[in-house]
């Protein structure tokens, strides 16, 4: 809605954002696939949890080559999800409860079935030809026409350029060939995007999550990317199409033309390897671009940098993980930006399986530990569906045919082709490693259907779901946990309430403690305006068997005065309101949050 004089310009800072992945959330129609009506029926549930903003991942008309991130019509809902009237009903249900509704904005690329691209590829003289990025390519020593450069697609191991037989040129697609990149240098493209955004804002959306928005500017002349993986024909395009200076020009224009006149909330997804100061610039109020961005640095704490981004490192260290989180939680506010506080989403595997222990004996406690960690970091908090009930990665014994995500399928295919071309046992053994990594890092881990109850298909659908339901749904589901005062769901609800009532958790300075420890993660949140200090102590010690271990922590040794400390919340045996004298002993996967 248009911005009113009485509107709080920063209502989003204290908000809890909940990401809904529509395909996997709730199906009202017994078709095995999530629907908008299914989401509508669950809006009261989200309100009960403590959600302020509902973010819908793409539900636009789409051929579904990449689960809706290939949009063929920005102003229609895909029939498998429902209708625009269904969307209106969700909007009204949210607004009636004082909640906001945010849409995904995917404008680095469209579907190749979008009318814009159909016209663009129809002929070189079509008025929309320059709405996408076309190139004649190069001729190699054999007289063959090859792509203009060595850029690798983000999915698979192939080129980011696709040859088009109709017009005898290549078009750029940084993702799938079914996702051609828009040419943001063309003013007509920007005008069309801004018009579409205004259409949604006038319809009542409260903002946008912007998919890979920092990819929209490409290096002039499309030079070859540096060779970072020797022996591979195609290389990551990196800074040649990520975080380029002109992205800021485009976002400033977007803010001026679209965002600033509305009381809306915009967060940009911004992959990249640059330092915090660059990412902070997107959210500095004076720059008038976005409210915040999603960076990806912390998502690499358990990954190995190889030719593809899903290589798992089982030997990751807590101290290195903390260094990443500490840097971003300290530096973004220091640079004048605002943090997006997320640890799970539709593109990342489940945090309990990554950071703690999903073993049955540790899972509930680990879920609460991860909750305390997440809710006490800086910035606006983003909760991903199922996180509140402690959903975990898919079982390791699932066959690879259970993986539905195109990234997993194409990456596995690309690695298999490359490694097997190297010959014999080496290739076969390496494929086993790739599969092991996918089972820990694949996007499918976050996309299993939401587990509502212990009935057929976890209450997600009366029909066979599009993706297999996790095997544990009989004991791990919403209905069971909402009735249990000691469940992860109940703990999440309580933690979100505590966060909203303690300014230090939202606005406070982040002060790391004991950064070299491989056992505890501890820090202070200090809010100078209220002089509120909060101590967070989390036991992330994996132990020799990966199932955790008891640890000790002495606050005095890191300069913390516990004289007036009172326990706000814990997943252990300590009582709320209690204090502590001297060294504290934390059982495996225990965490405590004290008000000092």
Provide the residue ranges of all domains of the chain, joining segments of one domain with +.
Answer: 16-110+187-394+445-492, 115-172, 406-441, 508-595
Residue 550 a catalytic site member? no
Give the chain's largest Cα–Cα span: 79
Q: Do 318 and 521 meet the contact criterion of CB atoms below 8 Å apart?
A: yes
Predicted confidence at residue 7, as pLDDT, reads 47
Q: Which of 269, 289, 347, 444 is catalytic?
A: 269
Tens of pLDDT, residues 280-289: 999 999 999 9
Residue 269 a catalytic site member? yes
Cα 345 from Cα 21, distance rounded (Å) = 9
- Classify domain 508-595 at the CATH class level: mainly beta
Predicted confidence at residue 510, as pLDDT, reads 98
Q: Which of 211, 344, 358, 514 is catalytic?
A: 211
Predicted confidence at residue 1, as pLDDT, reads 54
Predicted confidence at residue 289, as pLDDT, reads 97
CATH 3.40.30.10 fits 16-110+187-394+445-492, yes or no: no
- The SS3 call for residue 31 is coil
Predicted confidence at residue 306, as pLDDT, reads 52
Predicted confidence at residue 437, as pLDDT, reads 83
Q: Which of 234, 285, 309, 318 lies closest to 13, judged by CA? A: 285
* 139-172: burial string, b at 16+ Cβ within 10 Å, e else: eeeeeeebbbbbbbbbbbbbbbbbebeebebbbb
Residue stretches of the chain with pLDDT short of 70: 1-9, 305-309, 420, 422-430
Q: Is 493 exposed, middle or buried (0-12, 13-18, 19+ CB in 10 A)?
A: middle
Q: Count CA atoms closer than 13 A to 526's CA, side-chain side.
A: 11
Q: In what order do the strands lie in the sheet with 100-105?
A: 292-294, 265-269, 207-210, 100-105, 53-56, 16-20, 380-384, 340-341
Query: What is the CATH number assigned to the segment(s) 115-172?
Result: 3.90.400.10
Predicted confidence at residue 415, as pLDDT, reads 73
């Amino acid at each position: 809605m248009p911005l009113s004089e009485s509107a709080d310009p920063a209502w989003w800072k204290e908000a809890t954002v909940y990401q809904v992945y529509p395909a996997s959330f709730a199906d009202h129609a017994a078709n095995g696939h999530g629907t908008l009506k299914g989401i509508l029926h669950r809006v009261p549930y989200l309100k009960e949890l403590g959600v302020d903003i509902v973010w819908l991942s793409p539900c636009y008309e789409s051929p579904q080559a990449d689960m809706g991130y290939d949009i063929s019509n920005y102003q229609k809902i895909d029939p498998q999800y429902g209708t625009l009237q269904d969307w209106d009903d969700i909007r009204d249900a949210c607004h009636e409860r004082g909640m906001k509704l945010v849409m995904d904005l995917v404008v680095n690329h469209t579907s190749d079935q979008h009318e814009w691209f159909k016209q663009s590829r129809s002929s070189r003289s079509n008025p929309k030809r320059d709405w996408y990025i076309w190139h004649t390519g190069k001729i190699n020593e054999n007289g063959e026409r090859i792509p203009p450069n060595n850029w690798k697609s983000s999915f698979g191991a192939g080129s980011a350029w696709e040859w088009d037989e109709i017009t005898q040129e290549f078009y750029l697609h940084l993702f799938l060939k079914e996702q051609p990149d828009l040419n943001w240098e063309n003013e007509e493209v920007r005008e069309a995007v801004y018009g579409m955004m205004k259409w949604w804002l006038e319809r009542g959306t409260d903002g946008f999550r912007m998919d890979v928005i920092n990819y929209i500017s490409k290096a002039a002349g499309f030079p070859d990317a540096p060779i970072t993986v020797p022996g591979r024909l195609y290389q990551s395009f990196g800074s040649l199409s990520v975080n380029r200076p002109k992205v800021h020009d485009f976002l400033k224009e977007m803010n001026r033309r679209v965002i600033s006149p509305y009381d809306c909330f915009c967060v940009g997804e911004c992959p990249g390897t640059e330092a915090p100061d660059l990412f902070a610039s997107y959210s500095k109020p004076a720059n008038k671009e976005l409210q915040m961005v999603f960076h990806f640095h912390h998502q690499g704490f358990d990954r190995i940098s190889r030719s593809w981004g899903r290589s798992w490192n089982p030997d990751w260290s807590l101290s290195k993980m903390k260094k990443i989180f500490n840097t971003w939680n300290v530096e973004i506010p220091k640079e004048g930006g605002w943090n997006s506080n997320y640890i799970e989403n539709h593109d990342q595997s489940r945090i309990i399986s990554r950071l703690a222990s999903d073993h049955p004996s540790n899972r509930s406690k680990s879920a609460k530990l991860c909750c305390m960690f997440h809710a006490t970091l800086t910035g606006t908090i983003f909760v991903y569906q199922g996180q509140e009930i402690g959903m975990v990665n898919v079982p390791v014994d699932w066959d690879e045919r259970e993986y539905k995500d195109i990234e997993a399928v194409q990456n596995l295919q690309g690695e298999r082709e490359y490694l097997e071309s190297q010959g014999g046992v080496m290739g076969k053994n390496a494929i086993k490693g790739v599969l092991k990594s996918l089972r820990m890092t694949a996007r499918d881990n976050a996309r299993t259907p939401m587990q509502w109850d212990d009935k057929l298909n976890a209450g997600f659908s009366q029909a066979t779901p599009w993706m297999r339901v996790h095997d544990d749904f009989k004991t791990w589901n919403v209905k069971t946990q909402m009735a249990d005062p000691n469940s992860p769901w109940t703990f999440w609800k309580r933690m979100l309430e505590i966060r909203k009532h303690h300014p230090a958790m939202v606005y406070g300075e982040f002060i790391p403690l004991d950064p070299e420890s491989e056992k505890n993660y501890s820090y202070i949140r200090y809010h100078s305006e209220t002089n509120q200090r909060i101590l967070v102590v989390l036991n992330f010690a994996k132990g020799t068997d990966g199932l955790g271990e008891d640890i000790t922590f002495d606050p005095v040794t890191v300069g913390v005065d516990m004289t007036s400390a009172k326990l706000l919340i814990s997943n252990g045996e300590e009582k709320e309101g209690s204090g502590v004298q001297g060294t504290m002993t934390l059982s495996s996967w225990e965490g405590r949050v004290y008000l000092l």
